[in-house]
Amino acid sequence: MEGEPDTGASSRDERKAKEKAEILQRETQRKSFKLVREERLEICVVHCLQVFDDTEDLRCKVGQLAEAVRQAQHLVIYTGAGISTAASIPDYRGPNGVWTQLQKGRAVSSSDLSEAEPTLTHMCIRMLHEENMVQHVVSQNCDGLHLRSGLPRHTLSELHGNMFIEVCTSCSPVREFVRLFDVTERTARHRHGTGRRCAHCGGELRDTIVHFGERGTLEQPLNWRGASNAAERADVILCLGSSLKVLKKYGCLWSMNRPAIRRPKLYIVNLQWTPKDDLATLKIHGKCDDVMRLLMEELNIQIPAYNQTEDPVLSLATPLRPDEEDSYTRKLIAPPAGGEDCSPDSLGQGGGTAVQGGWFGRGYSKGRKRKRRKVVV
């Protein structure tokens, strides 16, 4: 009939309009997602950039830091990989860091970490403690350099372990063995046995390293009790060379149960962005050694030089049994008294060889492994 509407044509127009609206909506969502991705990428790039304060600003900021150190009643220092880069130990998130290089598809190699020695920053921290200006040090590093600098063990919390220490958890209390070499060459995440046995109970010795995804339960050298007690008493926290991306997760280190006005004043020394920057009283963009050298000048404190003959690890070390002499291949940090370095690898390896295994070596070598392709028969 002539007067009846064309329902087929109208439903077709409605369907086309609906489809057009859906296409426009999807296009809008794609543009929105693309914008978000670009913004996130831009933020990541900015966060990875290294920023250097100019000479005048650096001296001014270090002057403010020196005044805070003088007035502090209980100063705690948190340290990360950035304080050990001067000892030729790569950090993780810097431009030449392990994770950065892996993300770029580059291979990572390093000299035997047993050859590293405490840096100027390590020695400054030890001296500040001797001057009663630093009460506790909380370290994320496994390189043992704080201990080797002469910092007393009761003052130190090595939250992620120490490469020179292995323990027997079968003994009660846990028995500790300090060695002159890296004990982690055969260990890895969830596999901590070092291949040696306890001389007292025969139990298998294990390293003290806490890998990503693991929870550290050892009392020493982790010393979580000392770290949390120090954080509770702290009125000033100085963060040196740490991205704080791991430490930020430990609420007990930041007094987060207190009102913001009653939390410790935070000072950060790092070339890159950290997630605590907005909470910091002062952020110093400089290398740790440069900042600490200026700080010691401001405080009029002399920086001691590292002396290998006075390295505390030499006196703390437990000698190996005769049947254990071939149980390691790492170089000793110092040759035995009155003799040449007789470690198993001293004759066959030169300097600058790539690390294979251990808390550092396995950490990046796993990242380079390619997934095996499944072969369909």
Q: How far apart are CA 118 and CA 61, in angstroms?
A: 25
Q: Is position 171 annotated in a ligand binding site?
A: yes
Q: How far is CA 89 from CA 20, 119, 252, 275, in A?
A: 58, 11, 28, 24
Residue 65, H or E segment: helix 55-71
Phi, psi at 69, each rounded to 5°: -65, -40
Q: How far apart are CA 268 and CA 277, in angstroms?
A: 7
Q: How far apart are CA 208 and CA 219, in angstroms?
A: 10
Residue listed under structure tokens 């070598």: 365
Q: How far apart are CA 182 and CA 331, in angstroms?
A: 8
Q: Is position 201 annotated in a ligand binding site?
A: yes
Contacts of 205 (CB under 8 A, 6+ apart): 166, 167, 168, 177, 183, 193, 194, 195, 196, 197, 198
The one catalytic residue among 160, 192, 211, 285? 160
Q: How far apart are CA 223 and CA 206, in angstroms?
A: 17
Please say if 190 is a catalytic residue: no
Q: What DSSP state is assigned to residue 160?
A: T
Nearest CA-CA partner of 316 in 148, 161, 186:
148
Residue type, 133: M
Q: Is position 60 annotated in a ligand binding site?
A: no
- Secondary structure class of 46 (helix, strand, coil): helix
Q: Is position 288 annotated in a ligand binding site?
A: no
Instruction: Spell out where the chain has E strands.
Output: 75-79, 136-139, 156-158, 165-168, 175-178, 193-197, 204-207, 236-240, 265-269, 282-284
**How large is the angle between the packed helices 288-299 and 120-130, nearest 10 degrees?**
30
Q: How far apart are CA 129 and CA 124, in angstroms?
A: 9
Question: Which residues belong to the annotated binding site for Zn(2+)?
Answer: 168, 171, 198, 201
Annotated binding-site residues read: 168, 171, 198, 201
Residues with a catalytic annotation lie at: 160
